[in-house]
Homo-oligomer: A and B are copies of this chain.
């Protein structure tokens, strides 16, 4: 059982989903392609952590809707209590910045500006996520309790927003250094 497998089980605690949907929704937390997810789902099914129903569709391809089983839920609970792996970030920009003195300021500003635009778009997506939570929830998101199904995504959107704000601040600060 690797981390991605537990990630898939985690997503299934909120809804039953298809492999395709799981692939889309896990992206912000653990980027993965469908070619990695489908074989893992088959393994999880064999272990009894998930079950699926085959849903035939006429206009679109048939699909398999996966549901978390009781023993899958227990596996998740056990996993949470285990030591947590350290986060891993690999950012090509950091390597470029290390030797940014090799190019002129104009070139350097261009590299930084592109990254700033990227973070700006990311920030807008997080703001939309927050709005969706506000709409879905009966109470204001700040008052969500740990046992509320929306609690997890709400606090993760907060985490992502704090991070993207720090990244945007750094980009702007860097650009000011390159004038």
Interface residues of A (CB under 8 A from B): 3, 6-7, 9-11, 13-14, 29-31, 73, 76-77, 79-81, 83-103, 105, 107-108, 111, 114-115, 118, 146-149, 151-153, 155-156, 158-159, 162-163, 165-167, 169-170, 173-174, 177-178
Contacts and interface: CB of A to CB of B under 8 A. Distances in A.
Contact of A94 (B99, B114, B156): B156
Contacts of A173: 158
Contacts of A151: 100-101
A90 B32 CA distance: 10
Given A31-B90, A87-B90, 17 more contacts: A6-B92, A10-B98, A13-B98, A29-B98, A77-B102, A80-B96, A80-B111, A81-B103, A84-B93, A87-B92, A87-B93, A88-B89, A97-B159, A98-B153, A101-B151, A155-B174, A162-B166
